[in-house]
Amino acid sequence: MNPPPYRIGFGYDIHRLAAGRPLILGGVHIESEVGLEGHSDADCLTHALADAILGACGERDIGHHFPNTNPDFEGLDSQIILQKAVAIAREKGYRIANIDTCIIAEKPKIGAYLDRMKSALSATLDLAPDCIGIKATTNEKLGSLGASEGIAAHAVCLLLTA
């Protein structure tokens, strides 16, 4: 059976904020007194994006490919996770057409970092910057995200047959 000419994937990730951790989003270090807690560098934007790509391929999520029970992945740069997701898509005969993402955070304000995130993801994905959407919003002070207890991200991607 021939693969479909395109596939769509969706990803979501969330991490708690914690003192003493660096804040990395989209492969970019963001000045902040708190960072995201996790086994890897906890880059929730990159994790959501990797899961979107893996989902479009019909694969299991990043927790399957990079389990948090494996000490080899402790502190791992999430751009490596994203590179693996891209490699899996290519192995299955797909290329990324475009991605769109949304970061949900009350603080710190990250608007000044969005262009750098786009540049970093463009390099990792080998994708033109104008094929990458990154938006930021707040949770209007509602729930745990609104109380600045964490940061979340949503991502979608479109894969085309290579």
What residues contact residue 122 under an 8 Å CB cut-off, 6+ apart?
Answer: 128, 129, 132
CB count within 10 Å of CB 16 equals 15
Per-residue tokens: 107: 């603080």
| Pairing outcome for strands 23-25 and 94-104 | unpaired
Q: Answer for the pair 150, 16: CB distance below 8 angstroms, yes or no.
A: yes
Is the model's pLDDT at 94 over the cut of 80? yes
Total domains in the chain come to 1
Distance CA 105, CA 110 (A): 8
pLDDT tier, 79 (very low <50, low <70, confident <90, very high otherwise) = very high
Q: What is the CATH number of the domain that holds 43?
A: 3.30.1330.50
pLDDT tens digits for 30-75? 999 999 999 999 999 999 999 999 999 999 999 999 999 999 999 9
Containing domain of residue 87, as a range? 6-161
